[in-house]
Structures are given as structure tokens and as C-alpha cells.
Amino acid sequence: MAFFDTVIRNGTVVTASDTMVCDVGIKNGRIVALGEHIEEGSTEIDATDLLVLPGGIDSHVHLEQPTSDGSVMADDFESGTRSAACGGNTMVIPFSLQERGESLLNSVQEHHDRASGKCHIDYALHAIITDPSEQALVKDLPEIVKGGITSVKIFMTYENMALNDAEIFRVMEATRHVGALTMVHAENFDAIRQMTERLERAGHTGPRGHADSRPIVVEREATHRAISFAELVDVPLFVVHVSGGDVIEQIEWAKRRGLPIYAETCPQYLTLTADDLDSMPTEGAKYVCSPPPRDVANQEACWDALARGVFSTFTSDHCPFVYASDTGKQIKGAQESFKYVPNGIPGVETRLPILFSKGVSEGRITLNDFVALTATNHAKIYGMYPQKGSIAIGSDADIAIWDPKKRVTLTQDILNHNCDYTPYEGMTLTGYPVVVMVRGRVVAKDGKPAGEPGYGEFVSRGRSSLVPDR
Ligand SMILES: [Zn+2]
């Protein structure tokens, strides 16, 4: 009998720090050998001329999340993780949303129930707090942290979600107390509301109004405010979906002051612009997300910051709504204003190929940077390293084998999400994942699902590498 369950032979194995040609031996779902000419496996995969990378971890994903306006997310945990697998991911971290008035503990249990038995790949959860009651912060939060949900996200914008300054302060004090990581969506809600009313009065109600109602200054201001509170409370802070230069400047300002401030960016800020929102009379709604895509100069600022290591991770912020549906993004009838378009775009399947092609293939970042930004840093920051996020002895065999030469044109037809469009329609890329395995089992092949719902397991996370052990 073969010693290994699977051997991936002769591939170029890449980690966040090293690149080497070797064989990978997998047994009982874990990587147990790295070396030249290792023994036989029951299954042999020839990876000659291919790259063997840690499977992608997407730590910013929204699946089957409740909304307050009747819109319905296109992907649940089944379709969302299927789509993620086909795009080279072995793990996602979606959000568990606490609705106002709801118990934090209940909200987490609901999301566990939605996910359980559905996922194609492994998953964890972050907890969104919209109602920071005494019960939520003092009683429930320590419980959910014990249950392996060690990161909390707060919003500074959106009706029914935005926290005021005092609430932000209190959440940070609570996360400090339990050793959880605070993540923030930084945009100034009041300023956006005023800008929206002004645009509507002037008759600018088309999708472009979405971008014009929240220029980068509202993101910059909120980012600065969140950083300042984190400094006051003495907690690390993770700023999600940074969209351009003015905000990067704030992140770097904080880092220069020695503050533990970290950030991510997403494909939409590298490849889309606000002009996409008025590309067509109404179809610009397909590009409505917050923060909105900016302009070419801000795209360059994001690329530059990625290359210089300002961003710790690269995520999709997958938040899919069907376009042609009453519960989706199309602007219609009585609700004829951009403000009714649900915010968010699909991208869990396209995140890695876009960064690989435009980043690695076009020479803007190294392969090792790619691995750090798409897998290793997620595992460290969200408390799963080295079980996840690397190719090392003892780590889970979560592996994506890439063909760096494969040419793929992104179209809605080839994708596996439940959305009815991709914002990246027609984009031609070089490099695509060809085999994706989670704990040694193949879950996707050549961009198509090869696993089954329910194989993916919940990963209980430990303390973030960014959070000090006090
Ligand atoms: Zn998001």
C-alpha cells in the first residue's frame, strides 16, 4: 500500500517566504512530507511546470447575510463556497450579522445553522456588532470568542448598522478586554446622508450618484477617526476595503507613529473606476459597492501600496446581489434612486485570478507577496496559523495548483456563483487555479466544482497575531 494518500509531484512550491521545486506528500488531510523523489502516493498529481500554492483564504466575504431593505444576497454558504473553491480558495471567513435588537449570541447561532452542512471548503465566521448592548459586549462577546470567533466588525455607515462614536469606543474596549481583533468599515454616515440628499435634490439619482455621494474624503475622515479611537483605547485595528490614496496615507501615518493599524484592499479598487457606475443608464448599478471604485490614480495608489507591503491582505468583499431581480440591484419604479441599490458586488471566484494576472503575471508583485496577501497573512491575522495558510509539515493540505500560463477570459458563463453577472465581464487573465484541495481532498478542478457541500468544516480560531496577549 502506498504510504501517502496523495503526492503532488515536481511542482514549484511557493510560500510567503520561499520558492522551491519539490514533491508534497499528504496523509490524513495534512502535509507530512516535502522533498525530492518522495515515496509513492495512492493518488499522484503531476505538477510539472505548475505552481503549488497555499489555498486562498478570503477573509472578507458576505454570504446569506440578512438585510434590512428586503434585498436578498445571491449566494448562500453552499453556492458561495462552491464559487470560492473554483477560484482557488480553500477557506472563507464570512460575517455573522447581529441585527439591531437581536442577541449577539443568537445571531452567531443563526449563521452557524446557515453554514453547517453546506460548505464546499472550510469556513470561519467574524461577528458584526450593530447593537453594542451591555448583554452583547459583556456577556455574549466572551462566549463567541471562546467559540472560535475572534474578530469583530463594526460599521461607521449604513442605516441600522452604523455605530456612533461612543459605541465604537465601547466595542473597542470590549474587544480589548477579550483579546479579539476589531475590524472597521470606515465611511462617515452623516456626511453620506447629506451628500445623498443634495444629489437627489439636484436630480442626480442614477447609479453614478452612489460614487458621488461618498467621495474618498468621507472614507479618509472615518478612517482617521477610527484610528484615533483605537489609539485612545489601545487596541490594534484592521481597516477593511481601503479604496485609494487618501486612505492609504492615513494607514501609513498611523504605522509611522507606531500604531498597530492594518488594512486590506480588494480587486474592485485595482480594476474598476467610478466611471463604470455611469457606463450605462441603469446597469451601472452592477458596480455599486461601498466604498465605491475611485479613479485610475487611486488604482495606482492601491497597487503601489500592495507592492510596498502597506496592505496586509487582499480580499474580495464578495457581497453578491442579482441584477435582474426585484430583490436585487436594478433601479426601478417607485424606488428610482441609487440609494435603494443594495451595496456590494460578487468577486469571491475572481479575486485570486485577477491579482495573479494583474499583479504577478504583469510583474507588480512577487509570487511570495501573492501568497502572503491571499493566504498566509489571513491565517496569521485571523488566528489559524500554521494550521492554515502555508505549505509546511503539519499544516492542513489546503492547496491550490496553478497553471501560470493558462489564459482565461472572465465571463458570467464560466463562473460558479449564484449571481447573474460579473463586474469583470470580458477581462482576459493569465494564470488560473487548475486543482484545488481542502485537507487533501480535491474540491475544484479546472474552474469547476469537484467536491460536495458539507465537506467544509467550521474552523475555530485562536487569537489574532495582531492582538497582544495581555
Ligand atoms: Zn464587506
pLDDT for 58 = 98
pLDDT at 183 over 60: yes
Q: How much distance in Å is there from the Cα of 49 to the middle of ligand 1?
A: 36
Q: How many whole angstroms separate alpha carbon 88 and alpha carbon 324? A: 28
Q: How much distance in Å is there from the Cα of 29 to the middle of ligand 1?
A: 31
pLDDT for 281 = 66
Q: How much distance in Å is there from the Cα of 243 to the middle of ligand 1?
A: 13
pLDDT for 327 = 83
Q: How much distance in Å is there from the Cα of 222 to the middle of ligand 1?
A: 16
Q: How many whole angstroms separate alpha carbon 84 and alpha carbon 219? A: 28
Q: How much distance in Å is there from the Cα of 93 to the middle of ligand 1?
A: 11
Average pLDDT over the chain, rounded to whole?
96
Q: How much distance in Å is there from the Cα of 20 to the middle of ligand 1?
A: 35
Q: How much distance in Å is there from the Cα of 309 to the middle of ligand 1?
A: 22
pLDDT for 470 = 81
Q: How many whole angstroms separate alpha carbon 367 and alpha carbon 463? A: 27
Q: How much distance in Å is there from the Cα of 94 to the middle of ligand 1?
A: 9
The CATH number of domain 56-361, selected from 3.40.50.300, 3.20.20.140, 3.20.20.70, 3.40.50.1220: 3.20.20.140
Q: How many whole angstroms separate alpha carbon 361 and alpha carbon 190? A: 42
Picking from 50, 65, 125, 69, the residue whose alpha carbon sits closest to that of residue 92 is: 125
Q: How much distance in Å is there from the Cα of 307 to the middle of ligand 1?
A: 23
Q: How much distance in Å is there from the Cα of 317 to the middle of ligand 1?
A: 5
pLDDT for 334 = 53
pLDDT for 282 = 74
pLDDT for 335 = 61
Q: Do residues 368 and 16 make contact, with C-beta atoms less than 8 angstroms apart? A: yes
How many C-beta atoms surround the C-beta of residue 452 within 10 A? 12
Quick: pLDDT tens for 4-14.
999 999 999 99
Helix and strand numbers (H, E) in the chain are 14, 18
Q: Do residues 229 and 168 make contact, with C-beta atoms less than 8 angstroms apart? A: yes
Q: Which three cell numbers stand for residue 394?
A: 503539519
Average pLDDT on 240-264 reads 98
Q: How much distance in Å is there from the Cα of 62 to the middle of ligand 1?
A: 6
Quick: pLDDT tens for 211-240.
999 999 999 999 999 999 999 999 999 999
Quick: pLDDT tens for 333-370.
556 889 999 999 999 999 999 999 999 999 999 999 99
Q: How much distance in Å is there from the Cα of 241 to the middle of ligand 1?
A: 7
Average pLDDT on 63-80 reads 93
pLDDT for 333 = 55
Percent share of the chain, pLDDT over 90: 94
Picking from 184, 66, 58, the residue whose alpha carbon sits closest to that of residue 121 is: 58
Q: Which three cell numbers stand for residue 286?
A: 452592477
Q: Are strands 51-54 and 56-61 parallel, antiparallel or unpaired?
A: unpaired
3-state DSSP assignment of residue 307: helix
pLDDT at 426 over 80: yes
Q: How much distance in Å is there from the Cα of 205 to the middle of ligand 1?
A: 24
Q: Which three cell numbers stand for residue 333?
A: 419604479
Q: How much distance in Å is there from the Cα of 298 to the middle of ligand 1?
A: 19
> Which residues pair with residue 92 across a beta bridge?
58, 123
pLDDT at 18 over 70: yes
Top-confidence residue, 2 or 462? 462
Q: How much distance in Å is there from the Cα of 4 to the middle of ligand 1?
A: 40
DSSP state letters, 4-50? EEEEEEEEEEE-SS-EEEEEEEEETTEEEEEESS---EEEEEE-TT-
Element (H, E) at 261: strand 261-265
Q: How much distance in Å is there from the Cα of 291 to the middle of ligand 1?
A: 9
Q: How much distance in Å is there from the Cα of 314 to the middle of ligand 1?
A: 12
Per-residue pLDDT band for 332 (boundaries 50, 70, 90) equals low
Q: How much distance in Å is there from the Cα of 289 to the middle of ligand 1?
A: 9
pTM exceeds cut of 0.95: yes
Q: How much distance in Å is there from the Cα of 80 to the middle of ligand 1?
A: 14
Q: Which three cell numbers stand for residue 272?
A: 474598476
Q: Do residues 282 and 330 make contact, with C-beta atoms less than 8 angstroms apart? A: yes
pLDDT for 283 = 86
DSSP state letters, 54-115? EPEEEEEE--S---SSS---S--HHHHHHHHHHTTEEEEEEEEEPPTTS-HHHHHHHHHHHH
Quick: pLDDT tens for 396-409.
999 999 999 999 99
Q: How much distance in Å is there from the Cα of 442 to the middle of ligand 1?
A: 28
Domain range summary for the chain, segments of one domain joined by +:
56-361
pLDDT for 336 = 80
Picking from 458, 456, 453, the residue whose alpha carbon sits closest to that of residue 79 is: 453
Q: How much distance in Å is there from the Cα of 239 to the middle of ligand 1?
A: 11
Q: How much distance in Å is there from the Cα of 59 to the middle of ligand 1?
A: 10
Picking from 341, 197, 212, 347, the residue whose alpha carbon sits closest to that of residue 282 is: 341
